[in-house]
Structure 1
């Protein structure tokens, strides 16, 4: 079922017309009643009943019209409107809304238990689908958003374990786009448009939080050490090359090895080195 325009006219135009017709029909009825007056009585009764066809449409809202179980269309024009009084008019909001899920406990694709939550910004795009395709579209949005979040969390790791890997913590924009597509595909049947979906909370579960924090710290230390060693090797190579080119000192292989060892200890050490000055020998 797809949305279509429902029949309605401007209420400010319909009200004076109905007023004139109703007054004219009532004044035309003679007393005592004649046989010809029966048609005027029926006409006046229909005109009086037609006043129940007025309704108001607020900005960013719509009225879904039904009659005898059939969908007759949707009115989105704002202001005072008039339609057939036998239509049942159901109000539905087209405004932008937020849904924030609770903290869900799931496992990432590495099997690590994590806590994750999301915020989904959405609005009704097709009023007919929202009203007739699902029983309660607001409940449908919340349940399907949480289901999409669970599926996303199990598809990615919490953190990067391999090079060029997409992770929940390190690639927020990619994860947000993937979550938006996942939620939109689930809410398409309900006539809902997903404007934005993003992760609002992400953390390891308390029972493994300390262990995973130590793992992150160890990974950071190893990465830092790799950079330090890489820089130290480059500095040692540059020092030996410049000493050789400028002829400052001639070093044999044994002294080069000792110098390399000393420089690496100085450059890669955690603590500041204590210099030792060789003042020469007494003999």
Structure 2
């Protein structure tokens, strides 16, 4: 079998002439291979999602807080007051809120010793202790700059004012006067009342206020001690004389009522003199035996 190979004759002309034409082999078409997905993009998306979840979880973690008994948290969101949590336990709130801790427990303020002048101008030393606690957390946080420092300063000011309102000791003839040394309960009540009026602005409640130290200043302590000793001696002498006079009067009345002896005025005066010397003298009386009469 001959194969017509001339390029100028077409396949139909070759068949017409009786030539055998070999059909060309059709080209083999390759099947397209599937393109695998781009896993790098998927990994990138997963990483972004995981990072976002981690950040959100980290942010939400700051919303948890705990409170012990007699503690409070003041909640502030972007400068606005949102309330106060007072109950003890475990809580969660908006993590963007600022949570300020305030203790509601009672506290002691042991004031420093102050040197001031009393009502009469005498220099004295005075100190006080104040028991206080926070009642209104919003006032304590926002109405004053530092409520603890505010309590300290106002307490010192109140003690100074109190000392100038009362005398240290009562003056002569003024026994009913309220003084710092003699009327401690009244003075403490006045101090607590004045402190409460001063600290109410800071949301603080004064539970108790008392003087812990009270004395004359060293420069006049010696003179005032001698004055107190003299007043004590005078008071004791007055008591002794009053008792001696009462005893002499009782003796004369008994002698006259029972008619033990008849005494004229001169004898009564002599008896009164002798009894007062015996009763009011500091040393023991020495008996004197009279061998004559009452007039010799």
* In structure 2, distance between residues paired with 1:135 and 1:92: 14
Aligned residue among 220, 238, 242 for 2:254:
242
* In structure 2, distance between residues paired with 1:258 and 1:280: 15
Whether 1:82 and 2:107 are equivalent positions in the alignment is: no
Structure-2 residue corresponding to 1:98: 108
Q: How does 1:65-144 map to 2 (within 5 A)?
A: 65-144=75-154
Whether 1:199 and 2:243 are equivalent positions in the alignment is: no
TM-score (norm 2): 0.79
Q: Secondary structure at the match of 2:62?
A: helix
Mean CA deviation greater in 157-166 or 106-115: 157-166
Mean CA deviation greater in 45-54 or 91-100: 45-54
1:269 CA drift (Å): 1.3
* In structure 2, distance between residues paired with 1:274 and 1:164: 43
Structure-2 residue corresponding to 1:257: 269
Structure-1 residue corresponding to 2:229: 217
If you compute each CA radius of gyration, which structure gives the higher value, 1 or 2?
2
1:48 CA drift (Å): 6.0
1:163 CA drift (Å): 1.3
1:47 CA drift (Å): 6.4
* In structure 2, distance between residues paired with 1:176 and 1:208: 25
Whether 1:184 and 2:157 are equivalent positions in the alignment is: no
* In structure 1, distance between residues paired with 2:234 and 2:264: 34
1:45 CA drift (Å): 6.6
Q: Secondary structure at the match of 2:231?
A: helix
Number of residue pairs the alignment of both structures matches: 249
Unaligned runs of 5+ in 1: 1-30
* In structure 1, distance between residues paired with 2:272 and 2:90: 88
Structure-2 residue corresponding to 1:23: none
* In structure 2, distance between residues paired with 1:93 and 1:45: 32
CA deviations 1:232-255 (Å, max 9, x no partner) are: 111111000000011111000111
| Greater relative contact order structure (CA < 8 Å, 6+ sep) | 1
* In structure 2, distance between residues paired with 1:83 and 1:129: 22
Structure-2 residue corresponding to 1:28: none
* In structure 2, distance between residues paired with 1:48 and 1:202: 58
Unaligned runs of 5+ in 2: 1-40
Q: Secondary structure at the match of 1:154?
A: helix
Runs of 4+ with >3 A deviation: 41-49
1:172 CA drift (Å): 0.9
Aligned residue among 153, 156, 163 for 1:153:
163
Whether 1:59 and 2:61 are equivalent positions in the alignment is: no
1:230 CA drift (Å): 1.1
* In structure 1, distance between residues paired with 2:246 and 2:230: 24
